Structure 1
């Protein structure tokens, strides 16, 4: 049995690259003068299952520090490649600064870097590192429950528990990608996580409205702004223009008609509005977009009008009280979104069939889970396909043999005017994470509801800032049927069934004993039992 890191194979000879559906691996072959081939290959990649393959082809060495174990029975000579202890894997957030000290880079959402020097990094927990970051940023003590440490890459985002050890999770990142993503072998080897300081998804909005510290409000504002501008928080154009006007006021100061013209804002439109809403191109391309778009693109005129409507106080923009009010106004408006402060997961759902000759295929979606519920967001169109509060759904996670991970969501709906139960399948290797988070959020909400009135957190009395928001309270557009945050059940391919699963009956079924046993059982409901039929269609 031979153990070595792959990067130690550099310039040692030719190599055979093994590729399988499970995990990539590499077998080194020495230039011994004969074509020795293994009769049996068993490949262990860290904590992954055993992989056996006989399909081999020549390829270059992959210079990555992923340790593997090879057990070989060969007809020719056996080669042992010694380990090089000086070769170490480099992570984007960790670098060595001495025998026992390490430099740790913690990133804020606005790409600000917090550089720390930590002793015994391999044993430091997320809670200890969180405390060091909070002290470095001079945040108040309650920042421990407001923020959390995350490991983030373009393909996976994980909030760390206080007991987690970030260094060890970084070393296991490729295992996590293999388990929870559908990335290719090359993408897994290239991906590296960064350690980020973000909002804790379990911090309730009712507590956030009580925050007075300017630094905490600024961090929350930067994160909310990032999620709005990146389209992670879908919202209507008019609402995004109001939020963009607040960003203009914070970054540019009070409105100046001589300086803040339409041309001035047009050059910086992406800094204030989501890029998917901004008008692109000129002439014919712009006209074609306007004809084919489902909603009007943003332009500088709407942002300019919203900027002009931002009320001004006596204090200047640099005044800390004025900035605190602007941060709070931005966050209060974002609180209207049901998926504010959520965790994001990637997945796919079935498209509805559009004809006999046109298969539906699949649609890429983002699954947003917060303390309030589960929301399925169209990753391309940036609008909500389905929004369910926990008391409105049942769920389960299945992983049939040799099939995909599926998160099942069950909810009430209609089929040609008849009340039915609907099943939605979300295909994702992160379904296990989603199911666990849903269960934990329900348990957390139940424990908070069971608290004594005296011990339960109370809402702070509304401040003058809350009584006088920067914009006049108009009828919110959240109830508009064409709003991007309204569910679009007609765009979903669901399995509809009623009691016995054979025919649609006129009596509305209940879900107190659901097709799935996992649901919010203590919530009041008016549904009767549903029995799962043996011949229920599974897809």
Structure 2
């Protein structure tokens, strides 16, 4: 349609047929190349007005649509060339990339829906060496999906198998890629450490990091140092840790049950930390200490999916338990969705998995206790893909950590 100047056909294919305006043929020529080469100004205008158009697209020979237009000089080529030149300076569509602290950065999508995650990452002002530790996730109320560097992370451009997500507007979030803790320990860039810290703090406070009380108290004291600065005896008394302040340093799951009994221990560790001469009070050093204390938590760095399992309530009935399915470089973890209690944690090499029919469930078999169970989730295919990928990334020495 674009090659032969069929205006209405082009319009229908884009609007009704939802065709990708950047489709390529074997020579990597796009609809914009064909319309520009034929001097079809009206079609070029339609394509340039499409929100997903890549204005900088090039063919196999490295030619832009403007190059092809000026080479062929067909029909309304001068008007077409004018439109293409004007488009180069037109403002780009932008995507908001959110960080875990709620802040965001607007990044220009210079290549429309051809924009890759790597190109977006370059707009996040992260150094080249630290970009490898992060990626973009689509986040909605029932979806977290990590995109590889070669894909653009917007729902309309993905063939998603779990149904219509329109009621839940997607957010694009900058989060940690699942990588080994050996790589985590090498990160020195303050901005990268801040992003990792924000993510870890968010997951801790939401209850996703199941850990012994002593560890949670240490993390709480570190958060006090980070948020409030050095300990002051006149200011930071027991009454200082009221429920409102405790919300910002302890998991929500411990707020009522245990946190009120921890206040003396938290303040004691906070005081020791503040007065310790061997501990740098530089913000990124404190944030790094916080991260180091998170590394040994089983669910640290996990991607969480929603699902449910069935357990026997009696000989004739079953009980449904809603769960979070966590996948990271250590293995697979199941958390009770309501209480955040860690129901199961299996390391790679200690369990097997199999995707069920219709990609709506997967089966897990523990090699240690021979236990098997089925997790029902619309994200089963993604969970299995992530398990396969991260199992391959894990270094042999890390399996026993």
Q: Give the TM-score, by structure 2 length.
A: 0.72
8 Å contact from structure 1 (residues 100, 120) kept in 2 = no
CA deviation string 1:44-77 (max 9, x = no partner): 9989xxxxxxxxxxxxxxxxxxxxxxxxxxxxxx
Task: Please give the alpha-carbon distance, in whole angstroms, between the structure 2 residues aligned to 1:425 and 1:444.
Answer: 25
Task: Please give the alpha-carbon distance, in whole angstroms, between the structure 2 residues aligned to 1:207 and 1:395.
Answer: 27
1:215 alignment partner, SS class: helix
Asked whether 1:152 is paired with 2:139, we answer yes
Asked whether 1:409 is paired with 2:386, we answer no
8 Å contact from structure 2 (residues 134, 177) kept in 1 = yes
Pairing partner for 2:346 from 382, 388, 398 = 388
Q: Mean alpha-carbon deviation: is it higher for 218-227 or for 99-108?
A: 99-108
Task: Please give the alpha-carbon distance, in whole angstroms, between the structure 1 residues aligned to 2:49 and 2:128.
Answer: 40
8 Å contact from structure 1 (residues 345, 368) kept in 2 = yes
8 Å contact from structure 1 (residues 237, 298) kept in 2 = no
8 Å contact from structure 2 (residues 250, 259) kept in 1 = no
CA deviation string 1:338-383 (max 9, x = no partner): 2211111111111232x346x2321011111111211111112212
8 Å contact from structure 2 (residues 92, 109) kept in 1 = yes
Match of 2:76 in 1: none
Asked whether 1:310 is paired with 2:268, we answer no
Aligned pairs (5 A) from 1:410-489: 410-414=365-369, 421-445=370-394
Match of 1:495 in 2: none
Specify whether residues 46 and 427 from structure 1 end up closer, same or farther in structure 2 by C-alpha distance, changes over 3 A only: farther
Query: Structure 2: where are the runs of 5+ without partners?
Result: 1-10, 20-47, 53-88
Report the Cα offset of residue 131 of structure 1: 1.2
8 Å contact from structure 2 (residues 95, 109) kept in 1 = yes
CA deviation string 1:305-339 (max 9, x = no partner): 3323325355998x6xx323311211111011122
Q: Give the TM-score, by structure 1 length.
A: 0.54
Asked whether 1:364 is paired with 2:322, we answer yes
Match of 1:347 in 2: 307
Match of 1:337 in 2: 297
Task: Please give the alpha-carbon distance, in whole angstroms, between the structure 1 residues aligned to 2:199 and 2:274.
Answer: 24
Match of 2:61 in 1: none
Match of 1:199 in 2: 176
2:107 alignment partner, SS class: strand
Aligned pairs (5 A) from 1:138-177: 139-166=126-153, 169-172=154-157, 176=160
2:136 alignment partner, SS class: strand
Asked whether 1:101 is paired with 2:59, we answer no
8 Å contact from structure 1 (residues 278, 299) kept in 2 = no
Task: Please give the alpha-carbon distance, in whole angstroms, between the structure 2 residues aligned to 1:336 and 1:387.
Answer: 13
Match of 1:527 in 2: none
Task: Please give the alpha-carbon distance, in whole angstroms, between the structure 1 residues aligned to 2:141 and 2:265.
Answer: 32
8 Å contact from structure 1 (residues 277, 298) kept in 2 = no
2:371 alignment partner, SS class: strand
- Considering only aligned residues, what root-mean-square deviation do their CA atoms show, in Å? 3.5
8 Å contact from structure 2 (residues 107, 120) kept in 1 = no
Query: Larger helix proportion, structure 1 or 2?
Result: 2
Asked whether 1:244 is paired with 2:244, we answer no
Match of 1:513 in 2: none
Task: Please give the alpha-carbon distance, in whole angstroms, between the structure 2 residues aligned to 1:425 and 1:412.
Answer: 15
8 Å contact from structure 1 (residues 235, 383) kept in 2 = no
Task: Please give the alpha-carbon distance, in whole angstroms, between the structure 1 residues aligned to 2:259 and 2:278.
Answer: 36
Specify whether residues 410 and 316 from structure 1 end up closer, same or farther in structure 2 by C-alpha distance, changes over 3 A only: closer
Specify whether residues 46 and 270 from structure 1 end up closer, same or farther in structure 2 by C-alpha distance, changes over 3 A only: farther
Match of 1:127 in 2: 118
Query: Structure 1: where are the runs of 5+ without partners?
Result: 9-43, 48-84, 90-97, 280-289, 415-420, 451-458, 460-522, 524-539
Count of residues in Structure 1 that have an aligned counterpart in Structure 2: 327
Specify whether residues 148 and 298 from structure 1 end up closer, same or farther in structure 2 by C-alpha distance, changes over 3 A only: farther
CA deviation string 1:100-132 (max 9, x = no partner): 512321111111111233323222111111112
